[in-house]
Chain A
Amino acid sequence: MAEDPQTAPLLEIRDVSKMFGSVISLHEISTTVRAGQVTCVLGDNGAGKSTLIKILSGVHQPDHGRLFMDGRPIRLGSPRAALDAGIATVYQDLAMVPLMAVWRNFFLGSEPTKGWGPWRRFDGDEARRVTREEMLDMGIDIRDPEQPVGTLSGGERQSVAIARAVHFGARLLILDEPTSALGVKQAGVVLKYIVQARDRGLGVIFITHNPHHAYPVGDRFLLLKRGRSLGDFAKSEISVAELTRLMAGGAELEQLTHELERVGVEGES
Chain B
Amino acid sequence: MSGIAVAGDERLARVGLFRRLLVKPELGSLIGAVVIFVLFASLSDVFRSKEGVANWLDPASTLGIMAVAVALLMIGGHFDLSAGVQVATAGITSGILTTYYGMNTWLALAVSLALVLGVGFLNGYLVMRTGLPSFIITLGMFLMLQGLNLGVTKLVTNTVQVNNFDKVSGYGALHAVLASTFTIAGTPFQIAILWWILVTIAGSYLLLKTRFGNWIFAVGGDRSASTNVGVPVRRTTITLFMLTSLAAWFIGNTQIVRLTSIQAQTGIGQELIYIVAAVIGGCLLTGGYGSAIGASLGALIFGMTSQGIVYAGWDADWFKFFLGAMLLLAVLANQFVRRYAETSRR
Contacts and interface: CB of A to CB of B under 8 A. Distances in A.
Nearest to A147: B345
B289 interface: yes
B342 interface: yes
B130 interface: no
Best-buried of A94, A98, A99 by chain B (most CB within 10 Å):
A99
B342 A108 contact: no
Contact of A98 (B214, B222, B226): B222
A110 B230 contact: yes
B214 A96 contact: no
A189 B242 CA distance: 46
B231 A121 contact: no
B338 to A, nearest CB: 8
Contacts of B172: none
Contact of A124 (B209, B217, B228, B230): B209
Interface stretch (A63-71, A138-146, A191-199, A217-225): A138-146
A151 B346 contact: yes
Interface string B68-86: 0000000000000000000
B342 to A, nearest CB: 5
A161 to B, nearest CB: 10
A237 interface: no
Sorting the interface of chain B by its residue count into under 10, 10 to 19, 20 to 34 or 35 or more gives 20 to 34
Q: How large is the interface on A (under 10, 10 to 19, 20 to 34, 35 or more residues)?
A: 20 to 34
Given A91-B228, A108-B226, A143-B8, A97 B288 contact: yes
B225 interface: yes
Contacts of A122: 209-211, 213-214
Interface string A130-152: 00000000000101101110110
A235 to B, nearest CB: 29
A113 B16 contact: no
Interface string B210-221: 110111011001
B288 A99 contact: yes
B8 A121 contact: no
A100 B288 contact: yes
Interface in B1-32: 5, 8-9, 12, 16, 20
Interface in B191-218: 205, 209-211, 213-215, 217-218
A109 B215 CA distance: 7
Contacts of B214: 100, 104, 107-108, 111, 122
Contacts of A100: 214, 217-218, 221, 288
Nearest to B5: A141
A143 B225 contact: no
Interface string B48-89: 000000000000000000000000000000000000000000
Interface of A: 80, 91, 93-100, 104, 107-111, 113, 120-122, 124, 141, 143-144, 146-148, 150-151, 153
28 contacts: A95-B228, A95-B229, A96-B225, A97-B217, A98-B221, A99-B217, A99-B221, A99-B288, A100-B217, A100-B221, A108-B214, A108-B226, A108-B229, A109-B215, A109-B218, A113-B211, A122-B210, A141-B5, A143-B5, A146-B20, A148-B341, A148-B342, A150-B342, A151-B341, A151-B344, A151-B345, A151-B346, A153-B346
